[in-house]
Amino acid sequence: MSFITVGQENSATVDIHYEDHGQGPPVVLIHGYPLTGNSWEKQERMLLENGYRVITYDRRGFGKSSQPTTGYDYDTFASDLDIVLDTLQLTGVVLVGFSMGSGEVTRYLSKYGTDRVRKAVLMATIPPFLLKTDDNPEGVDGSVFDQMRTMARTDRPAFLKSFLDNFYNMDMYGGNLVSEPAWRDGFHQAISMSPYAAVACIDTWLTDFRADLPAITVPTLVVHGDADRILPYEHTAKRLPGMIPDMNLVTIEGGPHAICWTHADQVNRALLDFIKS
């Protein structure tokens, strides 16, 4: 297995597990909560078949990466991404972030610029700002996240089960677009996450990205399902037009949060057309 060291916690290094496959222009895929880099399998296969080099990695606290109790904030996540890109000496990159990963892409471009990046893709996006405040009335009430923190602390496996049911909209798509084995694979990825990260990452979802978005000066594609129960469309993607200078929004009708799995054909078509254009 391949690892890149991004930090230190006490006596142990913080190492990021990554996969690097194929030849051609590089595409970096950054996963969402509570999954791992393996969640990109339908996109990775498509990109490899179309002549792209595909890099995936597990965020700190997830999958095969180290599970520290530090660094669960978007400045650190963006720094981890920067170290990955620098270590692999990647240029001309298309950065693709799903859910939490869309925050990494946004903060990275705001903080580190676009020298290495030619295009960006935000899927099931967390920006611009999820928390409802006086100056952000379009956000989600904070009590929702308080309840999630309590559930994650009290019974993490039960919380993740409930989260994934809404992740896939299982009452709508279970048994057709999402098989039971596919759901179990998602749960296996989720339960491998650090128990500390399972709670700590909830706070990161409340990051205010509104000041970061104008710094995204590369062409940007946003893909979001209008039936997303995790990051509801009206609170997230629907608000982005006008906030990112060069942006195209693709709305997946009936798409849950897990559009990369349930609506992979539509997602892959939009992704490939955008990368090629």
Q: What is the DSSP letter of 272?
A: H
> Which amino acid belongs to residue 215?
A
Strands 53-57 and 12-21: antiparallel
- With contact defined as beta carbons under 8 Å apart, do 263 and 255 qualify? yes
| Sign of the torsion formed by the C-alpha atoms of 133, 245, 40 and 262 | positive
Q: Mind telling me the catalytic residues?
A: 99, 228, 257
Q: Which helix (H) or strand (E) holds 225?
A: strand 220-225
Residues 6 or more apart whose Cβ sits within 8 Å of residue 29: 37, 40, 43, 44, 54, 55, 56, 96, 98, 101
Tokens 């913080």 sit on residue: 14
Token couple for 71: 């660094």
* Cα separation, 47 vs 26, whole angstroms: 10
Report the candidate in 63, 52, 1, 2 with the shortest Cα–Cα distance to residue 30: 63
Residue 221 — φ and ψ, nearest 5°? -110, 130
**What is the SS3 assignment for 185?**
helix
* Cα separation, 80 vs 4, whole angstroms: 9
